[in-house]
Amino acid sequence: MSKAATQPCPGLPGQPAPVPTECVIGRTPASPLWLCLGLPRLPLEVRSGGCAEEDARVIVDHAGRVVQASAPAAESGVAPGLPLNAARALCPELVVLERDEAAERAALARLAAWAGAFTSVVSLVSPAALLLEVRGSLRLFGGLEALRRRVRDALHATGHACREAVAPTPLAALWLARAGQAQAVTDPAALAGRIGRLRPAVTGWPEATLTILRGLGIESLADCLRLPRDGFARRVGREPLADLDRALGRIPDPRAGFRPPPRYRGELELAAETTATACLAHALRGLFVELEGFLRARQRAVSCLAIRLAHLRHPATGLELGLARPGLEAAHFDALFAERLERLALPAPVISVALEAVPGEPFDPALAGLFGDESGSTAGFRLVERLRARLGREAVHGLCLLDEHRPEHAWRVAEPGSDSYAAAPAGERRPGWLLAPPRPLRSREGRPWLAGALRMESGPERLETGWWDGDEIARDYWIARTPAGARLWIFHELSGEGPGRGHWFLHGIFG
Amino acid sequence: MSGSLHELLDDPRLWRAGCRERRWPTLSSGYPELDALLPGGGWPAAMLTEVAVERWGSGELALFMPLLARLSDAGNTRATGWIAWISPPFLPYAPALAAAGIGLSRMLVVRGGDDAQTLWAAEQALQSGSCRAVLAWAGRADGRRLRRLQLAAESGHTPLILFRPPAALAAPSPAALRLSLVAGAEGACLRLVKHRGGASGSLPVAALHER
């Protein structure tokens, strides 16, 4: 056995690449292809609720140095690394926000969960990049360019700026993304050439290493690759050499897969306190898109979304969006929320929004209208949701028949679309309109009266039942007509205990 | 050229004076006497029909029961499409509907708080294309709102039956058909107030009512 095979440790001086490229590729039937999504504006985005570049604002670290500046601030000359005093001097109207690394990590983790919609292999790269192995997804999404477009559009909808790159190795994809080289590299043979054009700074090597390279007069990674391996390892370090080998696929570069949390929870701080519904809808749209990816990755749907709107000096406003049928589409959530917002009275300006959802039952594509017959039914449930979002849940219902003789118990409110298991009653006529509860009628000389004496048309029909549940009735029902011609369903109370004994009640109208 | 002219003339929104022939598809009311009275032989299938009701209990529901029974398709459990009841004045009583042969699983009862919400809900129901028929009860409705509803009914291919107080008949309306149900001691009478391109007429509804 050769030394190379027993000792795959990278960068031994004078040694050629220990693992040949073909060896890495040979392990999987098709060579992997990595899509890297770099999120260069993440520090600014997590503190600005989707309006990161609208005004002059900077993110500063705890030492008071500028980490990132929005586009208007950068135009005034504010650049990363500048002390805050100097930045304020350059741009007096500057909004200064402290960096929130925990929020950045949370946002990155949420995006990783979202990216699960496109591939099963997602890996996080600190501080602000995602790596997606997309070879297996190309057919499903109709090719690399179609997939990239889908990812780009969806990411844009979440409100994040993105730099993407495609390469056969994860590290090369990451470096290309950092350098903003969007043109995909799919051929491993072309990799060395494309990597070679990059500046050493994209590697993220320590500043000391970069200084050494500058001292050697090295301008690009191609210069690094031209150096003798042993010399490079001795003078620059073994780790940079190993990185170059990983980027070129000479040694394996295993990546830890991202494991999504069991439930979705997203929070977004708004750029400024606001009551503008457009602003809130915009902020939540991003979270809805994240949620859709999260759900698609698991093939699950939700039937309820919990939204919390936080205020500065006021308890948070909580909202629940119920879906008539479990769903996962962001556009659908968006429409429901917009409907709900319209009738919402905010007690105070909102400073941040949060969305929480627990994935429920497996998503059934048939319900989403994949088959023609079901699309009508989906539209039907969408209508129920829209109406409920605006009018309230109780304002929209269906009807259901029960097997009961007491008129008020012969039906009940049901979920729209639910089937009745009782058969249609036969026999006595029933009115199309029911009054609930029955309305007392005046009587004159023992005869019921409503704008005149009522004329009895048929009856009585005696209903005496319900003794078993304490809601017993004993009534004589009549069909009667008012002098003006309206036909009514009235009853004479017979039961002894009730306050209305001997009185007449109007219970229905024959519409 | 002449083809497009015919297309234009066939547009149901175009009302040609003196032209009595049917200009819109209709749905049979289920009552032969009523079909004979209604222009085109039935209720407009994708239009606004306004019914002014003087007094609840004069047979206003009975007029539409056979139509709703047919549209709800009670025998077909997989049927889709709601029969929407928007802001009815009382509770539609399920046993009576079932006895009339209406499939209850298709019923969608919506309580809009006021007239504006009622009309909004009716428009949503029509636009969704998921309703077989929309019945709505509203007091105030301006001409612009009614026109929008009329257009929504056309685009959603859904009949809209709007129940109004009799005073509403004083205002003009884009409805294809306007009827008035006048109560009377000997039973109500249905009167055609307006319909596009036809004579008016009336019918005592007692005969329908007795069924």
Contact B93 A433 (CB under 8 A): yes
CB < 8 Å to A391, chain B: 110-113, 117, 121
CA distance A489 to B208: 19
Do A25 and A156 sit in the same domain of this protein? yes
Are B124 and A407 a contacting pair at CB < 8 A? no
Domain end residue (candidates: A222, A247, A272)? A247
List, as ranges, residues 95-134 from B with C-beta within 8 Å of A.
95-99, 101, 104-113, 117, 120-121, 124-125, 128-131
Residues A178 and A34 in one domain: yes
Measured between beta carbons, the chain A residues lying within 8 angstroms of B110 are 387, 391, 395-396
- For testing the chain B interface, which of A387, A403, A421 should be mutated: the one with the most B CBs within 10 Å? A387
Classify A120 in phi/psi space as left (phi over 0), alpha (psi -120 to 50) or beta: alpha
Are B94 and A390 in contact (CB < 8 Å)? no
Spatial separation of the C-alpha atoms in residues B118 and B111, rounded to whole Å:
7
pLDDT tens per residue across all 511 residues of chain A: 344 333 444 444 444 444 444 444 434 456 888 999 998 888 888 887 766 677 888 888 888 888 888 888 888 888 888 888 888 888 888 888 888 888 888 889 888 888 888 888 888 887 889 999 888 888 888 888 888 988 888 888 888 888 889 999 999 999 999 888 888 888 888 888 888 888 888 888 888 888 888 888 888 888 888 888 888 888 888 888 999 888 888 888 888 888 888 888 888 888 788 888 888 888 888 889 889 888 888 888 888 889 999 888 888 888 888 887 778 888 888 888 888 887 788 888 888 889 988 887 776 654 444 333 444 567 788 888 889 888 888 899 999 888 888 888 888 888 888 777 777 777 778 899 999 888 888 888 778 888 888 888 887 888 888 777 777 788 889 998 888 888 899 998 887 665 667 788 899 998 8
What number of other Cβ atoms are within 10 A of residue A470's Cβ? 6
Contact state of A396 with B65 under an 8 Å Cβ cutoff = no
> pTM of the full predicted structure?
0.60
What are the helix (H) ranges across A96-247? 101-115, 138-141, 144-157, 170-178, 188-196, 207-215, 221-226, 229-235, 238-247
Strand B131-137 and strand B82-86: pairing? parallel
Range of the domain at A434: 430-509
> Taking CA atoms, what residue in B is nearest to A373?
B80
Residues of A in contact with B129 (CB under 8 A): 376, 379
* Same domain as A192, residue A270: no
* Inter-chain touch B91–A384, beta carbons under 8 Å: no
How many angstroms separate the CA atoms of A50 and A107, rounded?
12
A252 in a domain, yes or no? no
Contact A401 B80 (CB under 8 A): no
A385 chain-B contacts, CB cut-off 8 A: none
- Do A192 and A289 lie in one domain? The reply is no
CA B147, CA B136: separation in Å to the nearest integer?
15
Kindly state whether residues A365 and A444 are assigned to the same domain.
Answer: no
- Nearest Cβ partner of A398 from B60, B108, B128? B108
CATH classification of the domain holding A19: 3.30.70.270
Asked which of A217, A247, A277 is the last residue of a domain, the reply is A247
Q: Do A358 and A454 share a domain, yes or no?
A: no
Among A188, A213, A247, where does a domain finish?
A: A247
Q: Which domains are seen in chain B, by residue range?
A: 24-209 (3.40.50.300)
Closest residue on chain A to B182 (Cα): A485
Q: How far apart are CA A461 and CA A428, in angstroms?
A: 8
Asked if residue A411 is part of any domain, the answer here is no
Q: Which of A373, A388, A419, A487 has the most B C-beta neighbours within 10 Å, making it the best mutation to test the interface with B? A: A487
Same domain, residue pair A19 and A155: yes
Q: What angle do CA A91, A93, A99 make, to 5 degrees?
A: 85
Is A200 inside any structural domain? yes
Q: By CA distance, what is A378's nearest residue in B?
A: B130
Q: Tally C-beta pairs within 8 A across A and B.
A: 167
Contact call for residues B56 and A433 (beta carbons, < 8 A):
yes
For residue A367, give how far its alpha carbon lies from the nearest alpha carbon of chain B (Å).
13
Rounded CA-CA distance A505/A442 in Å is: 8
Q: Which of A309, A383, A385 is nearest to A344 (CA)?
A: A309
Instruction: Inspect the interface and report whether the beta carbons of B184 and A485 lie closer than 8 Å.
Output: yes
Residues A147 and A227 placed together within one structural domain of the fold: yes
Interchain proximity B110–A395, CB inside 8 Å: yes
CB contact under 8 A, B60 and A511: yes
What type of residue sits at position A10? P
Query: DSSP secondary structure string, A34-90?
Result: EEEEE-TTHHHHTTTTT-TTSS-EEEE-TTSBEEEE-HHHHHTT--TT-BHHHHHHH
Query: Do residue A125 and residue A156 come from a single domain?
Result: yes
Asked whether residue A336 is assigned to any structural domain, the reply reads yes
The verdict on residue A368 lying in a domain is yes
The CA distance from A35 to the nearest CA of chain B, in Å, is 40
Whether the complex's predicted ipTM surpasses the cut of 0.95: no
**Are A57 and A145 found together in one domain?**
no
| pLDDT single digits (tens) A69-128 | 888 888 888 888 888 888 888 888 888 888 888 888 888 988 888 888 888 888 888 788
Domains: count for chain A:
4
CATH number, domain with residue A352? 3.30.1490.100
The tens digit of pLDDT for each residue in A250-298 reads 888 888 888 888 888 888 888 788 888 888 888 888 889 889 888 888 8
Cα of A56 to nearest chain B Cα, Å: 42
Residue of B93, B115, B126 to mutate, testing the A interface (most A Cβ within 10 Å of its Cβ): B93
* Residue A1 within any structural domain of the chain: no
Residue in A386, A435, A484 nearest the CB of B124: A386
The reply to whether A13 and A117 lie within a common domain is yes
Q: Which of residues 171-200 of B touch A (CB under 8 A)?
A: 183-188
Nearest to B104 among A390, A391, A399 (CB): A399
Query: Within a domain: residue A211?
Result: yes
Q: Is B161 on the interface with A (CB under 8 A)?
A: no
A401 in any annotated domain: no
Q: Are residues A180 and A309 in the same domain?
A: no
